[in-house]
Chain A
Amino acid sequence: MRTRFVTVLLALITAILVIPGQAATADEQGGEGLHGQITRPEDRDHGVEGIVISVFQGGDEIAAAETGPDGMWEVELPEPGEYRVVVDQESIPSEFAVRETALVVDGEAAVTVDAGDRRPLIVALIPADEAAGSGSPSPSESGEAEPSESGGETAAEGESLAAESVEGGFGERFAQLGVKGLIYGLVIAISAIGLSLIFGTTKMINFAHGDMVTFGAMVALLFSTGASGTGNALLALFLALAVAVALGAFLETRIGRTALLLGQWSAILLGVVAATVLGLMGDAVGWQVPLWGAAVIAVLLGAVLGAGMERYIWRPLRHRNVALIQMFIVSIGLALVLRHVILVVFGVGRSQYAGYQIQDLIDLGPISLPPRDLVIMGLSVLVLVAVACMLQFTRIGKAMRAVSDNRDLSESSGIDVDRVTLYVWGLGGGLAALGGVLYGLSEIVEYEMGFRLLLLMFAAVILGGLGTAYGAMVGGLAVGLVAMLSTLWFPSQLMQAWALALMILMLLFRPQGLLGRRERVG
């Protein structure tokens, strides 16, 4: 096995060696340079494209760069020394101006670059009207713009939920934020049920759960904005995976092993071929569904993703007796893979579901809401009730709770634990995807959104009690409310910190969580 691997590697290297080609311009670690990122003043995760930055040495312009879509720029410098950096005022969008700092004066900065330094240079933007107020005295405005205003309103990282400014008296803001917290909590709860049930049935913490949320949001975005090559290929692949998993789950006992393997492999192979063909056809097969349809597709694909991971990764690992701690690490690795494959496939862009962003508010007493929030709430409550009913009254739901409670006991009392685990993963994957879509409705969809939500999901499941589905619901609501209401008194960027603090307090005083049973944990 190992020798074969080494042979392949050597062959690869030789092949690369003999193929002539121009030298790669791998940037040398030792070279000097300047770089930075120019972002929007109100949302510092959003870059500003097309700003030109020139570097002068003495009187000569020696380098220039333009910011990319993410606001990043970089220039290579020939040698260490003194440079003058000029931000081209023409290229700055008219609504912004360069912030004056000790270093950057009037869009220019003098910098010293040491040998081997790749220095960052901070160029910050502020809204143009503020610059006029606080900078050079303009004749029309003699009053100074309050500096605190500009800082106070900036959004927390990716939290447009909080960013919609809430105004009015304390009571009104409390009610408004309470509703927001409720929505946030419902989204967390839906996403976290799977995390908790998976922990219950397999004692494993699925660190990839956040990325399953991202997956759902991204898939819904893809199909609602028009699926072409990528979308079709994705559908084909997941259909094949679903067929393979379903074959295994339902026909394992009925047909022979060889026939089963043959069926599964041919399904996967067919899927890959179909995906390639569809991918190559690209826009030729283009179609689009409304967001609700895309959400259904996302949930289905999410369920297949969860079940597929369980069937082809976790079950084999469990049967190999891989220790739990090792499994955690595997799930971290999978999270990295999933997140960055999503990044490559769907791109770094931050987008929103079309048509649901700007809506007329509905007034309900002190609270005014866009209709989409009402839909999110209604749908979430409906789904949570449905899941609770399933867990409480159906056979498979009862089996899930039993396995979650005591895996060994369930196994010895005749429950097919592997199959129940498969369903739990499917359910968890589907719910995570749904959570992603709902989160995406009120949030910007981007590849790290799920990881951010994962931290809150962790807080939720620990708060409610690891391994209990109802605990995840209660915990999710509590975390959402605490996070949102904290912005009444504290900066919104501390939202996650409060959720974490809540979790740590819970660990100190009641480690089994609100709904968990007291057992020996230490």
Chain B
Amino acid sequence: MSSDETVADRMAGAAAAPGSAKADPILVADGVRRSFGGLTAVDVGHLEVQRGTITALIGPNGAGKSTLFNLLTGFDRVDQGTWSFDGRRISGKRGHQVARAGMVRTFQLTKALTRLSVLDNMLLGATGQFGEGIAGAFLRPVWQRQERANTERALELLERFKLIAKRDDMAGSLSGGQRKLLEMARALMTDPDMIMLDEPMAGVNPALVQSLLGHITSLRDEGKTVLFVEHDMDVIMGISDWIVVLAQGQVIAEGRPSDIRSNQQVIDAYLGSPEEG
């Protein structure tokens, strides 16, 4: 396990200013723009996300956080802009291609596959399955070994996320918090380098929040990069290594939690500055 110091090392040298360069960025975006019928939802000049950290994306309602998320993960198409992941350009790729490149997302409104069992939900995340080809599907003996290995890994993850007792239940019968856990565990089944969580705490029973936070930090400690959107300031300040603030589609501030807390622009954006009404 890495200590906080090494995380701090990773962030060392990064200036607390919009578009600042990072030592070892895993995600680099340039000039990403998206507008809906004349209204510019996202207009990000330059953004880098440091590898192996927890980066939080915050901003007032309608700041374009979810839109940016959708754009970066290939779930929406940009008007212009490019971005690359781990050195490879992924702009313009579709959602599944981005996921295969190693950048996996979850959704604000949890998308548990309700009429599949919890275990099937997990197995769906496994990559490179021979039996997922239409011809391979008929060759049961060929994919059965792979299926057993995947099941083993899925059960381990379910154990870790405390869902093992529910393994054979329909995913639709889980509570909201359990669905969030399942979604996170399912994303991990793909063995991603970077995991993007869209409001992981929204609608979660407060008792489960601590355990979710624990899971997020342990992801970072395993060497994965986490980018997440969140509203709850206490949560963000507690676990993020780096914070990116979005307002009206633009990055208005970046920095460590301590930098952000004292940033006047951020306070204005959240409370509404007088000039902008």
Please give the residue numbers on chain A whose beta carbons come within 8 Å of chain B beta carbons, in ascending order.
517-520
Contact = CB atoms under 8 A, between A and B. Distances in A.
Contact of A517 (B36, B70, B75, B76): B36
Nearest to B35: A518
A518 B36 CA distance: 7
Contacts of B76: 520
Contacts of A518: 36-37
Nearest to A520: B76
Given A517-B37, A520-B70, 6 more contacts: A517-B36, A518-B36, A518-B37, A519-B36, A520-B75, A520-B76
Number of chain B interface residues as a range: under 10
A200 to B, nearest CB: 16
Nearest to B77: A520
8 contacts: A517-B36, A517-B37, A518-B36, A518-B37, A519-B36, A520-B70, A520-B75, A520-B76
Interface in B28-42: 36-37
B47 to A, nearest CB: 22
B209 to A, nearest CB: 27
Contacts of B70: 520
Interface string B67-79: 0001000011000
Contacts of B37: 517-518
A522 to B, nearest CB: 9
A334 B173 CA distance: 33
A517 B36 CA distance: 8
B76 to A, nearest CB: 6
Secondary structure at the A interface, as helix, strand, loop or mixed, is: loop
A519 B39 CA distance: 12
Instruction: Pick the 3 closest A-B CB pairs, nearest first.
Output: A517-B37, A520-B76, A518-B37
A520 B41 CA distance: 13
Contacts of A520: 70, 75-76
A517 B41 CA distance: 14
Contacts of A519: 36
A520 B36 CA distance: 10
Nearest to B70: A520
B35 to A, nearest CB: 9
A55 B61 CA distance: 81
A518 B37 CA distance: 7
A520 B74 CA distance: 12
Contacts of A517: 36-37
A518 B39 CA distance: 12
A390 B182 CA distance: 50
A194 B37 CA distance: 25
A197 to B, nearest CB: 20
A228 B76 CA distance: 60
B240 to A, nearest CB: 28
Interface string B216-234: 0000000000000000000
A518 B78 CA distance: 12
A87 to B, nearest CB: 53
A519 B70 CA distance: 13
A101 to B, nearest CB: 46
Nearest to A517: B37
A512 to B, nearest CB: 10
A135 B79 CA distance: 68
A518 B70 CA distance: 15
A519 B75 CA distance: 12
Contacts of B75: 520
Nearest to B38: A517
A263 to B, nearest CB: 41
A478 B60 CA distance: 44
A413 to B, nearest CB: 16
B148 to A, nearest CB: 35
A519 B35 CA distance: 10
A520 B76 CA distance: 7
A316 B177 CA distance: 31
A517 B76 CA distance: 15
A515 B247 CA distance: 30
B93 to A, nearest CB: 15
B95 to A, nearest CB: 10
B233 to A, nearest CB: 25
